[in-house]
Amino acid sequence: MTFTETYNFQGYKYDNHGFHIDNGVFFLDTLKEWEIDFHSKHPICFANHLYANNSTMVLLNKCLILSSNESCGMELINGEIDFETDDLISKYSKINTIYGINSEIQVNKDEPIWLIIDDKIMDGTVKLKFIPDDDPDENEIPVPTERIKLKSK
């Protein structure tokens, strides 16, 4: 079973270091708030995929202080996530792809959030998803080992 939540922001209001120009909030802190919101709406799981267009990935690049030959996000191949094909493509690219980041939620920090570039998504939109690791078409609902309560700042 897949869960999806959509979040909106004004990307043009972030500076070259990933800080909001009006309130000074770091974009990764906003992402953390979205992760907490996602988990509060779907307490049996955490978001493990972030879908956004290339301009949002550029904002993530700024937050992570990447070198000029690194870039966040893997491209969809024929509208699907294809790690193997993306890995083959990256072997011939001069850009090192950052495939995922750690969750900003402390209890989930060792789990990756895969970064997926989907240029069909509008600027200023992020989709957080939980997609099961084994089979995205499987209807099995994940069962948590314990209930976790999260607090935002």
Model pLDDT, residue 105: 83
How confident is the model over 69-100, as pLDDT tens digits?
Answer: 999 999 888 888 888 888 888 788 888 889 89
Residue 29 lies in a domain: yes
Q: Is residue 148 part of a domain?
A: no
**Residues 116/73, Cβ–Cβ less than 8 Å:** yes
- By DSSP bridging, strand 112-117 and strand 74-75 are parallel
The mean pLDDT of 120-144, rounded to a whole number, is 75
Q: How many structural domains is the chain composed of?
A: 1
Please, what is the average pLDDT of the chain?
Answer: 86
Instruction: Please report whether residue 26 resides in a domain.
Output: yes
Residue listed under structure tokens 């700042």: 153
Is residue 145 assigned to a domain?
A: no
Per residue in 106-117, pLDDT tens? Answer: 788 888 999 999
Range of the domain at 12: 3-130
| Per-residue model confidence (pLDDT) at position 91 | 82
| Residue 135 within a domain | no
Provide the pLDDT for residue 97: 87
CA distance 147 to 132: 19
> In angstroms, rounded to a whole number, what is the distance separating the alpha carbons of residues 68 and 137?
37
Q: Report yes or no on 137 lying in a domain.
A: no
- Could you tell me if residue 47 is inside a domain? yes
